Amino acid sequence: MGNPHKGEVSLTAGGETYTLKYSVDAICRLEESTGKNLTTLMTEMADASKMSLTMTRHMVHAALFEHHPEVTLKEAGEIMEANGGMLQSLAKVVEAIQIAFPEASGTPRPPNRAARRKAGTGRAS
């Protein structure tokens, strides 16, 4: 089950639940596999005419790596099909990126426990 506080999103496909997460390693893998940096990829995502099925599959594959390193690129495509196709899978990719990069999306990530304590907004305050 994905935990948004850890930058995770759940994707259900074929009766299985997968966890998507854009960790530093996942982003590096994505950049290596596509030959594009993250800024370029995010710009392309904002323009639907620039997004391809191939790019979406690479993005899903990279996001799966943190919790499902055994999933191949081909299997990532099969997971996308079982999830309902490109648009449904792309929606999950967008959600995972928004959680991983809240400053870019304008959606702040909830503070973790240590940050709440430091700010004086935890249970003990």
Q: Provide the 10 A C-beta neighbour count for residue 49.
A: 6
Per-residue pLDDT, 107: 46
CB 62 within 8 A of CB 29: yes
Provide the number of structural domains found in the chain.
Answer: 1
3-state secondary structure 81-113: HHHCCHHHHHHHHHHHHHHHCHHHHCCCCCCCH
Residue 124 resides in a domain: no
Residue 108 resides in a domain: yes
Single-letter amino acid, residue 78: E
**pTM for the whole structure:** 0.77
**Ramachandran bin of 11, using left for φ above 0, alpha for ψ from -120 to 50, beta for the remaining angles:** beta
Q: What is the pLDDT of residues 3-60, one digit of tens each?
A: 777 889 999 999 999 999 999 999 999 999 999 998 999 888 888 888 889 999 999 9
Residue 31 resides in a domain: yes
Residue 125 resides in a domain: no
Residue 110 resides in a domain: yes
**Inter-axis angle of helices 86-100 and 73-83, to 10 degrees?**
110
Residue 75 resides in a domain: yes
Single-letter amino acid, residue 119: A
Has residue 98 got a pLDDT over 50?
yes
Write out the two tokens for 85: 């196709």
Q: How confident is the model at residue 116 (pLDDT cuts 50, 70, 90)?
A: low
Domain of 19 in residue numbering reads as: 4-119
Q: What is the pLDDT of residues 55-95, one digit of tens each?
A: 999 999 999 999 999 999 999 999 999 999 999 999 999 99
